[in-house]
């Protein structure tokens, strides 16, 4: 009997993703920039050769600093106070600040570092405007407890080098220095970025359903034979594309906290009648955790549902989002796929592409024949009574097949399924309109433990229309259908 490797059942079955594995890698590489930054800058000036290396221009502790005033590129300055070794918002000490931003600001005022000296304006008269320093792109002034005020003015990005430094000037020093990107980042966050942001968490391992309404319509649900498109039509979803799609869902992040929803003018923000509503449902599951003695305990986790409401544009890079009673912004970069990916973009072209372990049965029906195959997988047991596993620890199974209730050669069925049925792919898209005025030439229904999928072929000239769960998107050649016979 042919050995069948069946994936082990798990408490929370992982369905780690792939739509665009490149998209996931691109997101991970750029997400911080696009989430925390929604602006670009003017083209940088040409690089000027450094003549001298300078390490540190000033060293302080937060206890030495009384306050810091930052003027970001939008020109709207704000002040932070230094108290008890941390920075707080001067206008409202209870205002919760993002620790990542305050730590970055603190690091760049406690150690003012120059990577290189670009030139000395006293020796080489130049126009500061050519370096983005008059006016400057952003500025930081911090006052010490002794009353001394230090000022950092940052200009354009330096081009041409391997590291994207920025021009900057320190106090009344006549030299122009090269500063790191962290310095520019620290002093270019506008006020809207300061408030802490509660980021959403979408656990794709236990995701059971995704629903989109509004400017796009798409409903997806997970079944025991894979992801299924439920609306605007019924069709199996491509597992590879779903991998990428779900990865994108898990990467939805908010840029800014705006306010609580109850304090917002929802109509003005386009949230009274949202442009798009996203609902994600995490299925009921079981959590298993060990205690200090190594004993495992299980806890039921109920189904949870998260709702995102997407409204009007905040600026040219992001839009308003309402989530769990608060208003945030999210970049187009991370959320446009919700508006642009349609059901047809996720369809599975090869509807028979299921592993045999996912099936409990298969039925073939034509005007002249009806055959039902029942597939039974039995765990292999060794001489010692233990389950037999492969090198990866997966349990091995023996497969037996019943044909219309009677035993048959499982090898012939598995060979037919693997070489004839499973590889069936469309010959092209069917533009329609399609009708089902006659009986199908043949239909195949694949049964899982809880779900089923029906694929029907209708004669249409020299080709066959392929209906999957009642929806026709593709056609196949006559040769593709004819090679499915004779049935095993």
pLDDT at 14: 35
Q: d(Cα 394, Cα 392) in Å, to the nearest integer?
A: 6
Question: What pLDDT is stored for residue 438 in this prediction?
Answer: 81
Task: Report the residue count for the chain.
Answer: 488
Q: Model-level pTM? A: 0.81
Structure tokens given for 421: 């049925």
Say what the pLDDT of residue 56 is. Answer: 83
**Chain-centre distance for alpha carbon 98:** 22
CB-based contact 442:456 (threshold 8 Å) = yes
The segments of the chain whose pLDDT lies below 50 read: 2, 6-52
Q: Round to whole Å and give the CA distance between 404 and 82.
A: 80
| Residue 332 CB coordination number (10 Å) | 15
Tokens of 128: 């500061």
Residues 6+ apart with CB under 8 A from 400: 1, 375, 376, 378, 407, 410
Question: In whole angstroms, what is the distance from residue 138 CA to residue 142 CA?
Answer: 14
CA dihedral 425, 431, 433, 436 (to 10 degrees): -10
Instruction: Give the tokens for residue 384.
Output: 């010692």
Fill in the DSSP letter of residue 191: G
Pick the closest to residue 233 from 348, 339, 343, 351 (CA basis): 343
Alpha-carbon distance of 216 to 232, in angstroms, equals 10
Estimate to the nearest angstrom the gap between the alpha carbon of 199 and the chain centroid.
13
How far is 54 from 116, CA to CA, in rounded Å?
Answer: 6
């Amino acid at each position: 009997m042919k050995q069948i490797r069946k994936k082990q059942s798990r408490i929370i079955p992982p369905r780690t993703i792939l739509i665009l594995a490149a998209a996931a890698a691109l997101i991970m590489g750029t997400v911080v920039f696009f989430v925390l930054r929604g602006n670009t800058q003017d083209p940088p000036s040409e690089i000027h050769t450094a003549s001298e290396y300078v390490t540190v221009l000033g060293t302080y502790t937060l206890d030495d600093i009384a306050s810091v005033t930052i003027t970001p590129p939008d020109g709207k300055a704000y002040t932070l106070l230094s108290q008890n070794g941390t920075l707080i918002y001067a206008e409202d000490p209870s205002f919760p600040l993002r620790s990542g931003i305050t730590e970055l600001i603190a690091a760049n005022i406690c150690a003012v570092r120059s990577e290189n000296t670009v030139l000395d304006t006293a020796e080489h008269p130049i126009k500061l405007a050519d370096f983005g320093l008059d006016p400057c792109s952003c500025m930081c002034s911090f006052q010490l407890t002794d009353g001394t005020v230090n000022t950092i003015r940052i200009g354009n990005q330096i081009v041409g080098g391997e590291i994207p430094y920025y021009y900057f000037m320190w106090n009344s020093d006549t030299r122009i220095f090269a500063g790191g990107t962290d310095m520019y980042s620290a002093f270019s966050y506008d006020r809207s970025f300061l408030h802490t942001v509660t980021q959403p968490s979408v656990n794709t391992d236990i995701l059971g359903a995704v629903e989109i309404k509004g400017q796009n319509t798409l409903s997806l649900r997970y079944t025991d034979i894979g992801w299924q498109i439920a609306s605007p039509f019924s069709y199996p979803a491509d597992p590879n594309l779903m991998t990428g799609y779900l990865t994108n869902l898990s990467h939805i992040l908010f840029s800014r906290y705006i306010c609580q929803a109850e304090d917002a003018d929802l109509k003005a923000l386009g949230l009274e009648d949202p442009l798009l509503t996203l609902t994600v449902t995490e299925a009921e599951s079981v959590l298993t955790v060990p205690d200090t003695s190594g004993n495992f305990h299980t806890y039921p986790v109920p189904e949870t549902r998260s709702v995102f409401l997407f409204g009007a544009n905040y600026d040219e890079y992001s839009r308003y989002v309402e989530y769990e009673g608060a208003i945030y912004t999210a970049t187009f970069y991370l959320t446009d796929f919700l508006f642009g990916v349609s059901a047809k973009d996720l369809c599975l072209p090869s509807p028979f592409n299921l592993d045999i372990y996912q099936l409990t049965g298969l039925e073939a029906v034509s005007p002249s024949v009806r055959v039902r195959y029942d597939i039974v997988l039995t765990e292999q047991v060794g001489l010692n009574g233990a389950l037999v596993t492969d090198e990866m620890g997966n349990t091995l199974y023996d497969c037996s097949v019943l044909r219309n209730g009677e035993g048959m050669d499982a090898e012939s069925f598995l060979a037919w399924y693997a070489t004839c049925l499973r590889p069936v792919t469309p010959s092209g898209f069917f533009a329609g309109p399609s009708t089902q005025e006659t009986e199908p030439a043949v239909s195949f229904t694949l049964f899982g433990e809880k779900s089923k999928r029906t694929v029907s072929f209708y004669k249409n000239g020299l080709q066959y229309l392929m209906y999957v769960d009642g929806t026709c998107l593709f056609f196949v050649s006559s040769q593709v259908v004819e090679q499915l016979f004779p049935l095993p």
